[in-house]
Amino acid sequence: MKTRARMAPAPQDRQTDMGRLRLLLALDALLRENSVSRAAASVGLQPSAMSRLLSQLREQYDDPLFLRTGHGLRPTPLAEALRLRVRALAAETEALFHRSGDAAATSNAAHSGWEGVGLIAAPPLAARPSLMLDGEPTPEAFAAKLARIGDDAAPQRRLARNIATIGTGAGRSRPLSETEAEDALAIILAGEADPVQIGALMAALQYRGATAVEIAGFVRAIRRHIGATSRGAADLDWPCYLSPKLKTAPWFLHAARLVASAGFRVVLHGHYGEQGAERGKLEIAAARSGIAVCASLDDAKSALARTGIVYLPLPALSPQIYRLLGLYGLMEMRIPLGSAVHLINPMGARTSLLGVANTAARTLSRDIALLLGVKELTILGNTRDHAEFTPYRQTPLFRLVGGEVEDLVIPALTAPPAEARTGLSTREYWEAVWTGAARDERAETTIVTTAATALLSLGNSSDFEAACETARALWAGRSRQMAR
Please spell the DSSP secondary structure of 5-69, one letter per residue. PPPPPPHHHHHHHHHHHHHHHHHHHHHHHSSHHHHHHHTT--HHHHHHHHHHHHHHHTS--EEEE
pLDDT at 458: 96
Give CA–CA dist 49/94, Å, rounded.
21
Please name the residue ranges forming H helices in 372-440.
Answer: 426-435
Element housing 442 (H / E): helix 441-457
Model pLDDT, residue 13:
46
* Distance in angstroms (rounded) separating the CA atoms of residues 313 and 86: 48
- The whole-number average pLDDT for the span 129-153 is 60
Crossing angle of the two packed helices 426-435 and 441-457, in degrees rounded to 10: 70
Q: What is the pLDDT of residue 65?
A: 93
Nearest by Cα to 368 from 327, 398, 397: 398
Q: How far apart are CA 166 and CA 157, in angstroms?
A: 15
Q: Yes or no: say if 262 and 460 are a contact pair by the CB < 8 Å rule.
A: yes
Q: What percent of the chain has pLDDT over 70?
A: 83
pLDDT above 70 (res 117): no
What average pLDDT does the structure give for the chain? 82
Q: How far apart are alpha carbons 458 and 345 in whole angstroms? A: 15
Which residues does residue 241 pair with via DSSP β-bridges, in sequence order? 271
Check residue 482 and give its pLDDT.
Answer: 52
Report pLDDT for 276: 60
Q: Evaluate if residue 177 carries a pLDDT over 70.
A: yes
Statement: residue 475 has pLDDT above 90: yes
Average pLDDT on 461-480 reads 89
Q: How confident is the model at residue 140 (pLDDT cuts 50, 70, 90)?
A: low
CA distance from start to end of the chain: 97
Label residue 360 by pLDDT band (50, 70, 90): confident
* Mean pLDDT to the nearest integer, 170-198: 88
User: Predicted confidence band at 232 (pLDDT cuts at 50, 70, 90)?
Assistant: confident
pLDDT for 163:
86
User: What dihedral do alpha carbons 11, 17, 22, 25 form, nearest 10°?
Assistant: -160
pLDDT grade for 152, boundaries at 50, 70 and 90: confident
Give the least confident one: 12-21, 72-81, 135-144, 395-404.
135-144
Q: Whole-model pTM?
A: 0.70
In terms of Cα–Cα distance, which of 91, 51, 46 is closest to 73?
51
Give the model's pLDDT for residue 426: 87
| pLDDT surpassing 50 at residue 122 | no
Give φ, ψ of 351 to 5 degrees.
Answer: -150, 160
pLDDT of residue 273: 67
DSSP 62-116: TS--EEEETTEEEE-HHHHHHHHHHHHHHHHHHHHTS-HHHHHHHHHGGG-S--S
Is residue 364 pLDDT above 60, yes or no? yes
379's enclosing H/E stretch is strand 377-380
Higher pLDDT, 10 or 260: 260
- From CA 461, how far away is CA 474, in angstroms rounded? 14
pLDDT attached to residue 171: 64
| Cα dihedral value 197, 199, 202, 207, nearest 10 | -120
Confidence of residue 115 (pLDDT cuts 50, 70, 90): very low
Of 482, 483, 479, 408, whose CA–CA distance to 449 is shortest?
408
Percent of the chain with pLDDT over 90: 45
What's the rounded mean pLDDT across residues 338-345? 93
Q: What phi and psi values does residue 90 have, to the nearest 5 degrees?
A: -65, -40
The predicted model gives 248-258 an average pLDDT of: 94
pLDDT band at 141 (very low <50, low <70, confident <90, very high): low
Q: What are phi and psi of 12, to 5 degrees?
A: -70, -30
Rounded CA separation 246/272 (Å): 9
206 pLDDT higher than 90: no
Task: Please check the confidence at residue 246 and state whether its pLDDT lies above 50.
Answer: yes
Arithmetic mean of pLDDT, 22-43: 90
Position 324 scores a pLDDT of 87
Out of 151-165, 321-335, 429-443, 449-463, which region has the weakest mean confidence (pLDDT)? Answer: 321-335
- What number is the average pLDDT over the span 303-312? 95
pLDDT band at 16 (very low <50, low <70, confident <90, very high): confident
Dist. CA 414–CA 452, nearest whole Å: 18
> Residue 236 is inside which H or E element, if any?
strand 236-241
Residue 366 pLDDT more than 80?
Answer: yes
Please state the rounded mean pLDDT for residues 433-458.
Answer: 94
